[in-house]
Amino acid sequence: MRVLIFLTGILATVLPAQAEEVVKAGDFYLISRQVDGTFHGSHQVLEEQAAGYVAVAYCGRRVWVRPKSVAWSLIEVENKRVVGLEYSNGRGWVEVCAKAEKHVSMADIGSDEDPLVVSNDTPAAMTPPGSKLSRISEAFANKSGGKPKGTYHQQ
């Protein structure tokens, strides 16, 4: 039983964080690794055009990436990790293009924004309207829609 628990713990740290995303043979990913080669993170890259993806070339291979993925790869390199384009052969990963940051830049995806801004940007549809403080205030408003009551000392 202890062995089973130990193996479950090992698998939890090795497998991707998003359980719904299953890597299939033939999939391409930008993969970030620590300098010792251990996995750190990944972003999927497509071989066909899709909404929200832009065409780029890594080591001469044309693929489609999200702008957020390019920005993420540049930040990973700034954080002393190694990012490359890798291919899943169903039994492991094959490096297709080392040093991804040398092949695709923010300019290549038509952006002059800082990678940190692009990597943390959320689509407008997902951003609630109003300022952060007004949303916090609304959360504390009473159920009748009025302003929140004062503190205990003001009652």
- What are the angstrom distances between the C-alpha of 6 and each of 17, 79, 155? 18, 30, 56
Coil/strand/helix, residue 107: helix
Check residue 4 and give its pLDDT: 46
**How far from chain centre, in Å, is Cα 114?**
16
Check residue 20 and give its pLDDT: 46
Check residue 127 and give its pLDDT: 45
* 72, amino acid identity: W
Check residue 5 and give its pLDDT: 54
Task: Give the tens place of pLDDT for each residue, 33-55.
Answer: 999 999 999 999 999 999 999 99
Check residue 151 and give its pLDDT: 52
Cα atoms in the Cβ-side hemisphere of radius 13 Å centred on 7: 4
The ranges of the chain with pLDDT < 70 are 1-21, 122-155
pTM given for the model: 0.65
Check residue 148 and give its pLDDT: 52
